[in-house]
């Protein structure tokens, strides 16, 4: 898996470019990381030599740049939503190389944790439902990320709200041809403890009994109940009818 580090343009072309010592030092550190086959192949002695050549005290300078390098690698490690033992060792080695303080690490980890967990929740809610395997996956991920249950629940509620809005947007058709070729016939309600789709199917089953030549439907309203921070049941109201030109 390729690392997120890249060699600087000055070293790629072999051309010395005059810039501030701080910028050159930071690029030099990233060059070392980019050229190494493993983060742990870059030693403290290599970093020290680089900084001495440029008369930079890494423990007090380049704070923002050092944070960005670590954050980039941490985010890279969680691209697959799993933190391996090798990646844990790399991260421990990298934070020692970069002289990051506990406060720096805490801020970076919190920021990345929220970002990664939010993306994971978006992925599992893509079908507007959350099954047992997905719940177990999210539980394991938040343990790896060190997220508190309270913060994880906040993220879940935020992303669930977004997913519901997306579901409503997708369910409500405003296609011109669709509107022109339909005739209203009735309004029906449906409910489900499982998913939005099941609630719609429940309403459609009632509509099909009342309208044998049922041709179209449109979801007018979506609602539901919540229990323990999770969707407890879905309720929908939809309009349905026959072809407008039949």
Q: d(Cα 246, Cα 231) in Å, to the nearest integer?
A: 40
Distance of alpha carbon 98 from alpha carbon 109, whole angstroms: 15
CB 42 within 8 A of CB 97: yes
CA distance 172 to 130: 22
**Which residue(s) pair with 187 in the sheet?**
239
| CA angle at 208 for the pair 204 and 213, rounded to the nearest 5° | 130
Percent of the chain scoring above 90 in pLDDT: 61
pLDDT in tens, 166-191: 665 655 545 555 555 566 668 899 99
Position 234 scores a pLDDT of: 92
Q: pLDDT tens digits for 114-148?
A: 999 999 999 998 877 778 899 999 999 999 999 99
Task: Determine the number of helices (DSSP H) and then strands (DSSP E) in the chain.
Answer: 10, 3
Rounded-to-integer distance, Cα 153 and Cα 39, Å: 34
Mean pLDDT over each residue of the chain, to the nearest integer: 86
Mind giving me the DSSP string for 156-187? HHHHHHHHHHHHHHHHS---HHHHHTEEEEEE
Tokens 């935020």 map to which residue? Answer: 158
Q: CATH number for the 173-243 domain, one of 3.40.50.300, 3.30.870.10, 3.30.1660.10, 3.30.70.260?
A: 3.30.1660.10
Q: Which pLDDT tens digit goes with each residue over 202-236?
A: 999 988 888 888 888 889 899 999 988 888 899 99
pLDDT tens digits for range 9-67: 754 444 444 456 678 899 999 999 999 999 999 999 999 999 999 899 999 999 999 99
Q: What is the pTM of this model?
A: 0.66
């Amino acid at each position: 898996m390729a690392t997120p580090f890249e060699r600087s343009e000055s070293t790629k072309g072999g051309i010395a470019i005059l810039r501030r010592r701080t910028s050159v030092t930071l690029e030099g550190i990233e060059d070392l990381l980019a050229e190494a086959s493993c983060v742990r192949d870059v030693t403290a002695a290599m970093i020290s030599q680089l900084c001495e050549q440029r008369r930079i005290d890494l423990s007090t300078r380049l704070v923002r740049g050092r944070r960005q390098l670590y954050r980039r690698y941490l985010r890279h490690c969680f691209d697959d939503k799993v933190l391996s033992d090798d990646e844990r060792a790399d991260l421990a080695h990298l934070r020692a190389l970069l002289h990051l303080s506990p406060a720096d690490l805490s801020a970076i980890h919190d920021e990345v944790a929220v970002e990664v967990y939010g993306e994971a929740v978006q992925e599992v809610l893509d079908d507007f439902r959350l099954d047992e395997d997905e719940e177990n996956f999210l539980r394991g991920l938040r343990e790896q990320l060190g997220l508190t249950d309270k913060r994880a629940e906040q993220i879940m509620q935020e992303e669930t709200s977004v997913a519901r809005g997306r579901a409503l947007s997708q369910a409500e058709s405003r296609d011109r041809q669709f509107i022109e070729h339909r005739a209203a016939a009735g309004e029906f309600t449906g409910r489900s403890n499982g998913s939005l789709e099941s609630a719609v199917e429940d309403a459609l089953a009632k509509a099909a009994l009342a309208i044998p030549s049922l041709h179209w439907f449109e979801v007018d309203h979506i609602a539901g109940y919540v229990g323990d921070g999770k969707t407890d049941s879905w309720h929908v109201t939809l309009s349905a009818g026959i072809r407008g030109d039949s």
